[in-house]
């Protein structure tokens, strides 16, 4: 009977071992700083700053004010707001704050990806040419040096760039606290690590910089529930990787309640399965044909949701195995117990190291105790996302944290020594 189950269980164990070692290996490259770079701060590139806003009247004005005060020549950038299917006065508030506002109404094509596609069509017909488009969410606040950092990256030839996604409200609730911790960890042990290794990073929806020439040539066309990942893979299929700007910082509003966090992450899970199903076969074929490590890495990233489901299934099988050994366990045959012990310890070292690096507040250290709740809740969310992977209905995340950038105390060394957790003025 064991041999019957081994047909499935042995390959499954090989997959589990591969992914575990793969993630563990990559993570180390993001813990000890970023690779050296020569920064070009002479402002030369022009930018269109895009904010797609759906009923964001409560939070959009501080962002526009913030963008108007960036440490960059004002004549080199313009601020555009697409008031997308709004039923409130978002357009009026944004226009009064000083943005160039376009209003879009569509019964069928709803969501940020469609709004961006709509904007780009109009942008390319304008008299003024912009070297790049930077995309922000309406609830964001942006570090004053953001455009300086993106200008430098563009001058070095990078074409698709993701900025550091920080948190604007890490201390509001335990949910926003653990959500913030997850972003800090991913920033370091995933994005920064991959950039340091010369691999492709992934767009994050906001804080993105897209070269205009790239958009004109290939079009946006990313309209699924995770349009950022969709365009990452679309560009990678053309040999254009997404890079990581660790010092270009955006402060994003994290959900305040578990229900809101669940809803947002479910949308991400649905979108990831959608992108995976469409791009994995094409990416794998191209990676093998071109013998590209970077593309092979992208294929691994694409099937990460499936790996989570398989690893959860294996944990369940392993629990049964303790009572009824119904397959041959090769986990400790391939890797000895000592190696698994080191990997297990690493799962605690990574978050602790990241919080230490960003000089996290005492409250964030306390929230770290609740972080496992956030991590393990991904299991049912991913399973539900798989069941709903064909549902493309876009849902809006409500934002309410209306603060100005002047209310954030940013350490003077933030850009020079890497991002630090910020505090709010009392």
Adjacency order of strands within the sheet including 47-53 = 100-104, 77-84, 47-53, 132-137, 208-211, 160-167, 243-252, 141-142
Angle in degrees, CA 166, 364, 188, rounded to 5: 45
* Residue 349 near residue 237, CB atoms below 8 Å: no
Q: Is residue 5 scored above 90 in pLDDT? A: no
Position 48 scores a pLDDT of 98
Position 266 scores a pLDDT of 95
Percent of the chain scored above 70 by pLDDT?
92
405 contacts: CB under 8 Å, gap ≥ 6: 62, 65, 66, 69, 141, 142, 144
Rounded mean pLDDT, 95-123? 93
In 3D, which of 107, 244, 257, 109 has the Cα closest to residue 265? 257
Convert the pLDDT of each residue in 293-350 to its tens digit: 999 999 999 999 999 999 999 999 989 988 888 998 898 889 998 999 999 898 899 9
Determine what percent of the chain falls in helix, strand and coil, rounding each to the nearest 5.
Answer: 55, 15, 35
In 3D, which of 309, 111, 123 has the Cα closest to residue 216? 123
Mind giving me the DSSP string for 256-319?
A: SSHHHHHHHHHHHHHHHHHHHHHHHHHHHHHHHHHT-HHHHHHHHHHTHHHHHHHHHHHHHHHH
Q: Dmax over Cα atoms in the chain, in whole Å? A: 74
- Answer with the residue of higher pLDDT: 185 or 420: 185
Q: Is residue 422 scored above 90 in pLDDT? A: no
Position 322 scores a pLDDT of 87
Convert the pLDDT of each residue in 276-293 to its tens digit: 999 999 999 999 999 999
How confident is residue 41, by pLDDT bands cut at 50, 70 and 90? confident
Mind giving me the DSSP string for 222-256?
A: --STTHHHHHHHHHHTTT---EEEEEEEEEEPPPS
What's this model's pTM, rounded to 2 decimal places? Answer: 0.91
The topology under which CATH files domain 47-257 is: Spore Coat Polysaccharide Biosynthesis Protein SpsA; Chain A (3.90.550)
Q: Which residue ranges does the chain devote to CATH 3.90.550.10? A: 47-257
């Amino acid at each position: 009977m064991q041999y019957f189950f081994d047909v499935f269980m042995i390959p499954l164990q090989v997959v589990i071992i591969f992914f575990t070692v793969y993630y563990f290996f990559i993570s180390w490259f993001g813990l000890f700083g970023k690779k050296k770079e020569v920064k070009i701060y002479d402002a030369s590139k022009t930018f269109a700053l895009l904010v797609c806003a759906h009923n964001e009247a409560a939070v959009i004005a501080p962002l526009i004010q913030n963008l108007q005060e960036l440490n960059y020549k004002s004549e080199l950038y313009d601020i555009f707001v697409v008031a997308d299917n709004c039923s409130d006065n978002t357009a009026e508030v944004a226009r009064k704050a000083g943005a160039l506002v376009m209003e879009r109404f569509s019964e069928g094509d709803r969501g940020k990806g469609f709004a961006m596609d709509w904007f780009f069509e109009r942008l390319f017909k304008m008299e003024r040419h912009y070297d790049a488009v930077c995309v922000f969410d309406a609830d964001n606040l942006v570090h004053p040096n953001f455009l300086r950092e993106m200008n430098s990256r563009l001058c070095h030839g990078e074409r698709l760039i993701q900025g550091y996604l920080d948190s604007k409200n890490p201390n509001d609730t335990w949910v926003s606290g653990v959500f913030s911790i997850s972003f800090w960890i991913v920033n370091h042990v995933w994005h920064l690590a991959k950039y340091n290794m010369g691999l492709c990073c992934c767009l994050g929806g906001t804080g993105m910089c897209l070269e205009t020439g790239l958009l004109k040539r290939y079009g946006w066309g990313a309209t699924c529930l995770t349009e950022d990942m969709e365009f990452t893979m679309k560009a990678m299929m053309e040999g254009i990787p997404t890079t990581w700007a660790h010092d270009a910082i955006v402060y994003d509003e994290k959900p305040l309640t578990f229900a809101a966090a669940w809803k947002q992450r479910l949308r991400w899970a649905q979108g990831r399965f959608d992108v995976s199903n469409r791009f994995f076969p094409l990416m794998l074929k191209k990676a093998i044909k071109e013998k590209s490590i970077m593309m092979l890495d992208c294929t691994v990233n694409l099937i990460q949701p499936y790996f989570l489901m398989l690893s959860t299934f294996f944990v369940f099988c392993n629990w049964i195995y303790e009572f009824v050994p119904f397959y041959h366990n090769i986990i400790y045959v391939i890797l000895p117990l000592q190696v698994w012990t080191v990997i297990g310890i690493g799962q605690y070292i990574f978050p602790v190291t990241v919080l230490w690096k960003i000089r996290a507040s005492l409250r964030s250290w306390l929230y770290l105790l609740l972080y496992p709740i956030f991590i393990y809740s991904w299991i049912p969310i991913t399973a539900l996302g798989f069941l709903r992977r064909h549902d493309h209905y876009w849902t809006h995340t409500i934002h309410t944290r209306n603060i100005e950038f002047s209310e954030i105390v940013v350490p003077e060394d933030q850009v020079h020594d890497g991002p630090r957790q910020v505090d709010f003025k009392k």
